[in-house]
């Protein structure tokens, strides 16, 4: 009986150690953008520079790291989250995206206001024209 209880204890200790070994890293998108922001290079950051930054600052799995990094970079370029310049990667300009979002919001709000104000203005004009007709 003592051997059975020991086996149960050994399985419970292995479960505890496996849960404590997990490290919670941010997503590759966050790690890559922080690496590019850190270097602040005008022409962008190379894959080697991004890789060194992530290895220094985060605990990543070395066996699949290079492949996952390359795939993440390709996905970010396809989603227009990164811009590929020759062999380097850089963040897209913030001013263009900010202007587009503000102009889109500005255009949508006046259109709604103009339709409501136009309907209100039509009613007073009709009243004014009817009052003029009475005086003449």
- Please report whether residue 117 resides in a domain: yes
Any domain includes 15: no
| 72 within some domain | yes
Q: Is 122 exposed, middle or buried (0-12, 13-18, 19+ CB in 10 A)?
A: exposed
Higher pLDDT pick, 31 / 117: 31
Tens digits of residue pLDDT in 94-104: 765 555 655 55
> In terms of C-beta density within 10 A (0-12 exposed, 13-18 middle, 19 or more buried), how is residue 29 classed?
middle
Q: At what angle do helices 65-78 and 47-57 cross, to 10 degrees?
A: 120
Query: pLDDT exceeding 70 applies to what percent of the chain?
Result: 52
Of 52, 75, 79, 82, residue with least CA distance to 65: 52
Does some domain include residue 7? no
Residues 39 and 87 in one domain: yes
Range of the domain at 131: 94-136
Q: Verify that 75 and 110 share a domain, yes or no.
A: no
Max mean pLDDT among 16-20, 52-56, 93-97, 110-114 falls in 52-56
Q: Which residues pair with 45 in a beta bridge?
A: 89
Q: Looking at the structure, tell me whether residues 64 and 107 fall in a common domain.
A: no
Which two tokens mark 76?
């970010």
Number of domains, the chain: 2
């Amino acid at each position: 009986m003592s051997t059975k209880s020991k086996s149960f204890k050994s399985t419970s200790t292995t479960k505890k150690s496996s849960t404590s070994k997990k490290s919670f890293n941010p997503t590759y998108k966050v790690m890559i953008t922080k690496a590019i922001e850190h270097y602040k290079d005008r022409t962008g950051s190379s894959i080697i520079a991004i890789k060194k930054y992530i290895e220094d600052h985060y605990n990543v799995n070395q066996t699949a790291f290079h492949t996952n990094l390359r795939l993440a970079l390709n996905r970010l370029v396809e989603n227009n989250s990164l811009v590929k310049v020759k062999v380097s990667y850089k963040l897209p300009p913030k001013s263009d995206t900010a202007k587009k979002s503000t102009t889109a919001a500005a255009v949508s709000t006046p259109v709604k206001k103009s339709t409501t104000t136009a309907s209100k203005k039509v009613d007073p004009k009709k009243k004014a024209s009817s009052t003029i007709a009475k005086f003449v």
